[in-house]
Amino acid sequence: MLDTWFSSALWPFSTMGWPENSPLLTTFYPTSVLVTGFDILFFWVARMMMMGIHFMGDVPFKDVYVHALVRDEDGKKMSKSKGNVIDPLIVMDQYGTDAFRFTLAAFAAQGRDIKMSEKRVEGYRHFINKLWNASRFALMHVNLDSTTLTPGTLSLPNQWILSRSENVARSSAEAIEAYHFNDAAGLLYQFVWHELCDWYLEAVKPALYGKEGEPILEQTRAVLWQVLKNTLICLHPFIPFVTEEIWHMLPGTQGSIMNATLPQNCDPDFGRFVNPESSGQRSRIWPVCKSRSRTTNGHHYRHHYRHQKYSGRNESCAVLKAECPDSNRSFSNHGHNSPAWGYHHPSGEAGKTRC
């Protein structure tokens, strides 16, 4: 009769046919990573290492990922007797599984416990809605002819979003490989909400509505298709259900998104669109976008102040008109009550805005 921890120490190989040298054992021993909590490192993890080395001649896993402890919103350990337990099934029914998954990933910083509350899950549900609405808008404009990006001179918004998309795809993949899941989730959140939705989609609306000519329209459609496709692939590990749904609606895709390859792993020319100069141009334009965001989301600036900000009498607007005159129309033509601009609340939770 073996005690609990001794028998558990044999788990990495005893479950796969040991002591026989079965095909299952030779295939999956050693494995790559063990995910566990800090409170059983001595009781279980150390014993698995010792037994694996003794009986198999090799460690059972190369990496040990110690995940955070999920506590209540006050930082207290959850307990049924205290009545502070959050039932994940109820939370997923109310806010969606994708929102729940993304919340856990976004707060999974190494060395820090997670203070879980339904308000945080609700905030990331707004992010899922943001992605869904942005995708619906994109699907109104892209088609099978949009799947090929013809080489040529790109407009500033198209050049910038392609550059950012490739940078974010590479950085988020590197963060996942390093088990920095919160960093990857944060990068993707920032890109989708503040860059793709708040800036790029607004900047290219004149082009998508045919106000800048047929060549720019086709170029913008192709860029939008490629950026949306790559964004869905990068987001899929965190929010698999909504990305799968959008993937099947996106023209030019086949099969499940689970079989899709990260853009940097399937495109031999990946990185060709990275352009630091376009990022510098955009950074000079961005103050106008942020000011517009605050104005259209209920911040009660006086009318004459709003007029002054967007009439071209300040430096940022002058840069905007000089470097991106066509996109400036999309910024200045929105009415005061336009819901098109997102706003990230100071509390860190996503606001209830539409794409």
**Any bridge partners for residue 77, and if so which?**
71
pLDDT on residue 274: 63
> What is this structure's pTM?
0.76
Which of these ranges, 59-68, 100-109, 221-230, 290-299, has the smallest mean pLDDT? 290-299
* pLDDT band with cut points at 50, 70 and 90 for residue 271: low
Determine contact, residues 290/331, Cβ cutoff 8 Å.
no
CA pair distance 283, 190, nearest whole angstrom: 15
> Domain ranges in the chain?
4-66, 284-341
Q: What is the pLDDT of residues 52-85, one digit of tens each?
A: 999 999 999 999 998 888 888 888 888 888 888 8
HEC secondary structure over 242-285: HHHHHHHHCCCCCCCHHHCCCHHHHCCCCCCCCCHHHHHHHHHH
Q: Which residues have a Cβ under 8 Å from the Cβ of 66 and sit 6 or more positions away?
A: 36, 37, 38, 41, 110
Q: What's the per-residue H, E or C state across 115-166?
A: ECCHHHHHHHHHHHHHHHHHHHHHHCCCCHHHHCCCCCCCCHHHHHHHHHHH
Percentage of the chain modeled with pLDDT above 90: 49
**Is the pLDDT reported for residue 264 higher than 50?**
yes
* In the block, residue with structure tokens 């609405």: 133
* Mean pLDDT score, 333-341: 36
HEC profile for 11-78? Answer: HHHHCCCCCCCCHHHHHHCCEEEEEECHHHHHHHHHHHHHHHHHHHCCCCEEEEEECCCEECCCCCEC
Query: Largest Cα–Cα distance in the chain?
Result: 83
Average pLDDT, the chain: 79
Instruction: For residues 318 and 310, give the distance between their C-alpha atoms in angstroms, rounded to a whole number.
Output: 10
Q: State the pLDDT confidence band at 224, using cuts at 50, 70 and 90.
A: very high
CB contact at 8 A, 262 and 231: no
pLDDT, tens digit (0-9, with 9 covering 90-100), for 153-197: 888 889 899 989 999 999 999 999 999 999 999 999 999 999 999
Residues 6+ apart with CB under 8 A from 284: 316, 319, 323
Query: For residue 102, what pLDDT is reported?
Result: 96
Mean predicted confidence (pLDDT) in 121-149: 92
Read off the pLDDT of residues 38-49 as tens digits, 9 standing for 90 and up: 888 888 899 999
Overall average pLDDT of the 205-213 stretch: 92
Alpha carbon separation from 222 to 75, 122, 132, 162 (Å, rounded): 47, 33, 19, 11
Instruction: Pick left, alpha or beta for residue 27 (phi over 0 → left; psi -120 to 50 → alpha; otherwise beta).
Output: alpha
**Which is more confidently placed, 249 or 265?**
249
Question: Residue 348 has what pLDDT?
Answer: 41
Which residue did the predictor score with more confidence, 300 or 337? 300
Greatest mean pLDDT among 233-247, 288-302, 311-325: 233-247
Answer whether residue 135 shows pLDDT above 90.
yes
Element (H, E) at 319: helix 315-323
Predicted pLDDT at 317: 47
Task: Identify residue 78 by its one-letter amino acid code.
Answer: M
pLDDT at position 75 is 83
Identify the CA nearest to 350 among candidates 130, 171, 75.
130
Q: pLDDT, tens digit, for every residue of 1-46?
A: 457 777 889 999 999 999 998 999 999 999 999 998 888 888 889 9
Q: Is the pLDDT of residue 352 over 50?
A: no
